[in-house]
């Protein structure tokens, strides 16, 4: 058996082992993600997985609804927002108010300036893990 054949056989065995260990329910895989922004007075969803909708509830405030709900509210989310200018004006994605919801069906996120005021962004990226 040649070296190339042995490497191919090893790669095949590794693939079979990994396939049995990592599936869609693995906690290291994102359960939902979305790339969206507020452009021209409307929400533009550029790409998404397991997200049914993004709704703007107020300036800089959004509700992301899941196509398939999370098993419970014990999920982790992280988000990033693009600055609206090239002058270094930062945008951050946060949950700031007690009225913000985190349910199995949706999560509320906010986009704010470094000064703490709500502000829209042309690109917000959200990832949810469970």
Q: Are 121 and 81 in contact (CB under 8 A)?
A: yes
In degrees and rounded to multiples of 5, residue 14 shows phi and psi of: -65, -45
Edge-to-edge order in the sheet of strand 76-81: 42-49, 30-39, 124-129, 76-81
Q: Which residues pair with 62 in a beta bridge?
A: 56, 109
Instruction: State the average pLDDT over residues 38-66.
Output: 96
Q: Where are the domains of the chain?
A: 27-129
Q: Is the pLDDT score of 45 beyond 80?
A: yes
Distance (Å, rounded) from C-alpha 121 to C-alpha 37?
6
Q: Tell me the pTM.
A: 0.79
Instruction: State the average pLDDT over residues 25-41.
Output: 90
Instruction: State the average pLDDT over residues 86-105.
Output: 78
């Amino acid at each position: 058996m040649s070296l190339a054949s042995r490497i191919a056989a090893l790669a095949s065995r590794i693939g079979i082992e990994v396939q049995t260990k990592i599936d869609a329910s693995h906690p290291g895989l994102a359960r939902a993600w979305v790339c969206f922004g507020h452009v021209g007075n409307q929400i533009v969803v550029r790409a998404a997985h397991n997200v049914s909708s993004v709704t703007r509830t107020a300036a800089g405030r959004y509700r992301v609804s899941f196509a398939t709900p999370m098993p419970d509210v014990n999920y982790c989310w992280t988000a990033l927002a693009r600055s609206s200018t090239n002058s270094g004006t930062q945008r951050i994605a946060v949950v700031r108010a007690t009225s913000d919801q985190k349910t199995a069906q949706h999560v509320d996120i906010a986009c704010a300036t470094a000064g703490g005021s709500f502000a829209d962004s042309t690109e917000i990226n959200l990832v949810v893990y469970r």
